[in-house]
Amino acid sequence: QKEVEQNSGPLSVPEGAIASLNCTYSDRGSQSFFWYRQYSGKSPELIMFIYSNGDKEDGRFTAQLNKASQYVSLLIRDSQPSDSATYLCAATGNQFYFGTGTSLTVIP
């Protein structure tokens, strides 16, 4: 079992729709959770971070954390073609974990 699991996709959504990305983790000692966006050939760019249960919103992005169920999600509202990228879920606590990423394609 991988410590952080993501659906590799690809996930395709039409422009303007909501994209929903999910991540589950196995280490209950994980405390901090991050979402990174990575375009092909580029470095990861921090999109959201969340440390407490509940929702956190920043512009078109909402991160959700449920520690009891051990999942983290990222919602992207009004998806744009420029959101097409790989999204990496990461967690730290007892260890540094990166998920393998979900490939998102937003279709114009």
Partner 1 sequence: DTEVTQTPKHLVMGMTNKKSLKCEQHMGHRAMYWYKQKAKKPPELMFVYSYEKLSINESVPSRFSPECPNSSLLNLHLHALQPEDSALYLCASSQVVTGRSSYEQYFGPGTRLTVT
Binding site for partner 1 (CB under 8 A): 31-32, 34, 36, 42-46, 49, 88, 90, 92-96, 98-101
At residue 2, the 3 state secondary structure works out as coil
27 by DSSP, 3-state: which?
A: coil
- Which CB, 80 or 95, lies closer to partner 1? 95
Which is closer to partner 1, CB of 17 or CB of 70? Answer: 70
Quote the tokens at residue 67: 């520690």
Tell whether the torsion through CA atoms of 96, 68, 85 and 37 is positive or negative.
Answer: negative
Tell me how far, at minimum, the Cβ of 75 lies from partner 1, in Å: 19
* Closest to partner 1 by CB, 20 or 38: 38
- How many Å apart are CA 90 and CA 79, to the nearest integer? 22
Residue 21 C-beta: closest distance to partner 1, Å: 15
Q: Which is nearer to partner 1, 10 or 16 (CB)?
A: 10
The CB-of-2 to partner 1 minimum distance in angstroms stands at: 10
User: Which residue in 3, 7, 18 sits closest to 106, CA to CA?
Assistant: 18
